[in-house]
Amino acid sequence: MSRIEISNLVKMYGSHKALHGIDISIQPGEFCVLVGPSGCGKSTTLRMVAGLETISGGEIAIGDRVVNGLRPKERGIAMVFQNYALYPAKTVRGNMAFSLKLSKMPKAEIDRRVNEVAEILELTPLLDRKPAALSGGQRQRVAMGRAIVRDPEVFLFDEPLSNLDAKLRGQMRAEIKRLHQRLENTIIYVTHDQVEAMTLADRIVIMRDGRIEQQGTPDAVFHDPDTVFVAGFMGSPPMNLVDCMVTPGGLRLGGTELACTLPEGLRAGDRVTFGIRPDDIRPAADLPGGVPVTLPVDLIEQLGTEKLVHFRAGPHELIGKTGGRVDLAEGTEQRLAFDMAHAFFFDAETGQRIR
């Protein structure tokens, strides 16, 4: 269980700067998720922590040691790879025991550890199988088992669930969460899936183009995004983000006036990006305190417990929500309400939040 301190981390590929000075401070036992679209630098950051990529600038410290110059095996880390990277010629037991054998641990101790971890991960009946004879979920657990037996200071996960189907992914997510509660190791976990990030993380670091957009607790990044990118990235379906004109009484949304109070400093005639989550647009009857608008419904998506309501406001398409049993017809005008208490405003140019 160690603290991880990443400061001003830079990665250059030739003259291309892939990371522009990243600072992340991870507390002992913290579950930190790096999330962002592909190419944002999250995997690069993780691999630099692991020692699989050289560090072009800045510093990484694990515990009290700066690990910049250390080899992967000297860093006290274990890693779970996206494709599991199990040794195909070794049995499950051989895969899990490999690093222990290399560290010249006595055989009895190796057996004890492997059996114990296999028990935790329900791998005991599979110990003598080769990876080719395992299902995707089983391989995933072996990959984790291989990391756990080493009892590392830090676990690194590189998109470990992306090769699993949706159902298994949900199960494994929960399993990883339980494991973390039990082992209490420090974890850095890379994913492009914001649901995984939200459910697993103590701390979410949202990255984009080699920079950190925002970091904080899941609550903070979801409910209090600093930038229009974070607002749009976190949440499914995504937050509605619409370029609007500020009017004396509120906003002009397509052809409709939306009466609301705006942050100080916004003047009539300014352009602003208006953001509101689908949860905060509901049929007027369900949301008494909201700002009512009547708009045409384009499309209904039935999700079961709720429905997504696509409607048009001038050139913009927005999404709202309603209960799964509410009966709405496509193509009709509906009276909807916007919960402007949870609306966000971003600078149309810089994307920075205007509070």
Partner 1 sequence: MPTAPVPTPTPDKEDAVTPSFRLPTAAGTPYLFLLPGLVILGALLSVPLYKVVEYSLYDNVIVERNPTFVGLDNYRDILGDPGYWSAGFNTIVFTVGSVIGHMIVGIGLALLVNADIHPRARTFFRSMLVLPWIFTAVVVALNWQLLLNPFGLLNYVLDWLGLITEPLDWLGNPDLAMWSLLVISTWRGYPFIMVSFLSGLQTVPKELYEAAEIDGAGFWHKFWHVTLPQLKPVIFGVALLDLIWTFQLFPLVWLTTGGGPGRATEVLSTLTFRLAFVDFEFARAATVAVSILIISAAFTVLYLRNEARRL
Bridge partners of residue 268, in order along the sequence: none
> Cβ closer to partner 1: 99 or 199?
99
Q: Which is nearer to partner 1, 127 or 309 (CB)?
A: 127
CA dihedral (72, 78, 84, 89) positive or negative: positive
- Residue 164 and residue 136 in contact, taking contact as beta carbons nearer than 8 Å: yes
Among 49, 78, 179, 205, binds partner 1 (CB under 8 A): 78
Residue 106 CB-density burial (10 A; 0-12 exposed, 13-18 middle, 19+ buried): exposed
* Candidate residues 21, 63, 72, 254; the one interacting with partner 1 per rule CB under 8 A: 72
54, 7 Cβ separation under 8 angstroms: no
Which of positions 91-120 make contact with partner 1 (CB under 8 A)? 98-99, 102-103
- # residues contacting partner 1 (CB under 8 A): 24
Among the listed residues 1, 85, 284, 300, the single contact to partner 1 using CB under 8 A: 85
**Out of 82, 91, 163, 247, the residue judged to bind partner 1 by CB under 8 A:** 82
The nearest distance, CB 104 to partner 1, in angstroms, is 10
Contact pick of 7, 25, 81, 254 for partner 1 (by CB under 8 A): 81
The residues in 7-26 that bind partner 1, with binding defined as CB under 8 A, are none
Of 151, 160, 226, 225, the C-alpha closest to 188 is 160
The residue range among 32-40, 80-88, 311-319, 331-339 that interacts with partner 1, by the rule CB under 8 A, is 80-88
What's the Cα-to-Cα distance from 113 to each of 36, 172, 176, 282, rounded to whole Å?
36, 22, 19, 54
The distance of closest approach from Cβ of residue 28 to partner 1 in the complex, given in angstroms and rounded to an integer, is: 21
User: Which residues on adjacent β-strands are paired with residue 252?
Assistant: 245, 257
Considering only residues 39 through 58, tell me which ones interact with partner 1, judged by CB under 8 A.
Answer: 50-52
Q: Which of residues 125-184 bind partner 1 (CB under 8 A)?
A: 146, 150
Q: Which of 3, 17, 20, 90 forms a contact with partner 1 (CB under 8 A)?
A: 90
The site for partner 1 (CB under 8 A) is made up of: 50-52, 71-73, 77-79, 81-83, 85-90, 98-99, 102-103, 146, 150
